């Protein structure tokens, strides 16, 4: 198996040439990390002709090698891109998929150029622009409302759902999960115990987790948060759909809403998003808020921490709000 490595330019160049992924006389002269990622090995490779993004999924989480992960998740990401390519709006707001190596779980993707994701929102001083909120909601409207379901098992993505389920609905509610929250925010351990010892809350999380695992009719992005939103010279783009699956539409919208609360967005932005989302008659607004509450709580108490700048008192308020969402 070929392994991507930024310090192995010769091997990378040979790999690309052997797969005929480079033009004649095109060679790689640099490979660097385009940003901070969690799940995969991702590199920006520059050649004497152009640049690309290349990513590989391995049988562990890149940022936390001690955590096992489905190595074929890159193929699910490729399946997502292939599924949406007949929908112009979705195609416009995602990077182009150029090549797929299923044997090595490697994707070659369009380089969108110098860009930043939207994690800058977490510094507590940045507001999501209304036009960006509209675009992000429109993407979900198109994805949930118009993409016709097919039965590609890669889009069911069951192994990734199981991994995500563990870290969203189980791990954050364990009293002794090995994560010392006081190293993140002093005093957070004491606050967390009232939630981790609440059996009614844990039962709600269990039921919501079971709902999450059900196969639904809507194709979801699966991780629709600011780290998956990219600000580029060509506008806002959506990346990293490796957690995609067929589920209930409430989940994607809930993740977006949860991160609006986590990034301390004004209420009118949150209401704009909820009101702009096209809800069919089956949409359950209570379920959406419950999923949002779970996401807020897992981001504050779980392993997948965010670069939040907020104080302990703000986290305490967010946990209380998330509790109220979940328990309704």
**Do 230 and 296 reside in the same domain of the chain?**
yes
Residue 68 and residue 14 share a domain: yes
Final residue in a domain of this structure, among 80, 110, 140: 110
Residue 205: partners with Cβ closer than 8 Å, 6 or more residues away: 169, 170, 173, 294, 326
Last residue of a domain, one of 110, 125, 146: 110
Structural domain boundaries, residue 127? 116-327
The answer on 106 and 89 residing in a single domain is: yes
Across the range 295-317, mean pLDDT stands at: 95
For 18, the token pair is 């052997």
Q: Are 131 and 104 in the same domain?
A: no
Cα separation, 239 vs 109, in Å, equals: 10
User: What is the rounded end-to-end Cα distance, in angstroms, of the chain?
Assistant: 49
Find the DSSP H helices in the chain: 9-18, 73-84, 88-92, 130-146, 153-156, 158-165, 188-196, 199-213, 250-262, 267-276, 285-301, 312-327
> Which residues are CB-neighbours of 228 under 8 A, at least 6 positions away?
117, 221, 238, 239, 240, 241
Residues 73 and 191 in one domain: no
**pLDDT of res. 108:** 97
For residue 45, give the 3-state DSSP assignment.
Answer: strand
Q: Could you give the percent of the chain with pLDDT greater than 90?
A: 87
Summarised one tens digit per residue, pLDDT across range 156-187 is 999 999 999 999 999 999 998 889 999 999 99
Residues 186 and 136 occupy one common structural domain? yes
Q: Is 3 part of a structural domain of the chain? A: no
Are residues 225 and 279 located together in one domain of the fold?
yes
pLDDT in the model for residue 65: 85
Q: How far apart are CA 211 and CA 221, in angstroms?
A: 17
Same-domain check for residues 134 and 187: yes
Number of domains in the chain: 2
35 and 161: one domain? no
Tens of pLDDT, residues 50-87: 999 999 999 998 888 888 999 999 999 999 999 999 99
Does one domain contain both 225 and 252? yes
What is the CATH classification number for the domain harbouring 215?
3.90.1200.10
Together in a domain, 58 and 138: no
136 and 275 in a single domain? The answer is: yes
Residue 1 lies in a domain: no
The pTM of this model reads: 0.94
Q: Which one of 90, 110, 130 terminates a domain?
A: 110
Q: Which of 262, 264, 293, 288 is nearest to 275 (CA)?
A: 288
Closest alpha carbon to 206 in 288, 323, 294: 294
């Amino acid at each position: 198996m070929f392994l991507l490595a930024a310090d192995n330019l010769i091997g990378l160049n040979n790999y690309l040439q052997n797969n005929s992924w480079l033009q004649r006389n095109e060679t790689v002269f640099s490979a660097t990390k385009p940003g901070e990622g969690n799940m995969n090995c991702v590199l920006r490779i520059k050649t004497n002709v152009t640049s690309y993004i290349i990513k590989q999924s391995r049988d562990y989480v890149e940022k936390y090698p001690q955590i096992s992960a489905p190595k074929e998740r890159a193929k699910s990401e490729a399946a997502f891109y292939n599924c949406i390519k007949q929908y112009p709006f979705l195609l416009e707001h995602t990077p182009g998929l150029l090549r797929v190596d299923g044997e090595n779980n490697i994707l070659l993707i369009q380089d969108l150029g110098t860009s930043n994701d939207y994690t800058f929102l977490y510094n507590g001083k940045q507001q999501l622009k209304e036009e960006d909120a509209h675009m992000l909601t429109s993407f979900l409207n198109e994805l949930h409302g118009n993409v016709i379901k097919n039965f590609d098992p890669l889009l069911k993505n069951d192994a990734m759902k199981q991994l995500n389920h563990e870290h969203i609905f189980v791990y954050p509610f364990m009293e002794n999960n090995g994560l010392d929250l006081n190293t993140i925010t002093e005093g957070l351990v004491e606050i967390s115990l009232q939630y981790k010892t609440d059996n009614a809350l844990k039962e709600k999380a269990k039921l919501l987790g079971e709902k999450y695992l059900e196969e639904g009719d809507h194709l979801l992005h699966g991780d629709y948060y600011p780290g998956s939103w990219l600000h580029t010279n060509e506008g806002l783009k959506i990346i990293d759909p490796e957690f995609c699956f067929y589920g209930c539409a409430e989940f994607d919208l809930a993740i977006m809403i949860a991160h609006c609360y986590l990034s301390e967005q004004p209420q009118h932005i949150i209401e704009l998003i909820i009101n702009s989302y096209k809800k069919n008659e089956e949409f359950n607004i209570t379920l959406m808020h419950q999923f949002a509450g779970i996401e807020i709580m897992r981001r504050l108490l779980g392993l997948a921490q965010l670069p939040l700048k907020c104080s302990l008192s703000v986290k305490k308020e967010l946990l209380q709000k998330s509790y109220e969402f979940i328990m309704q």
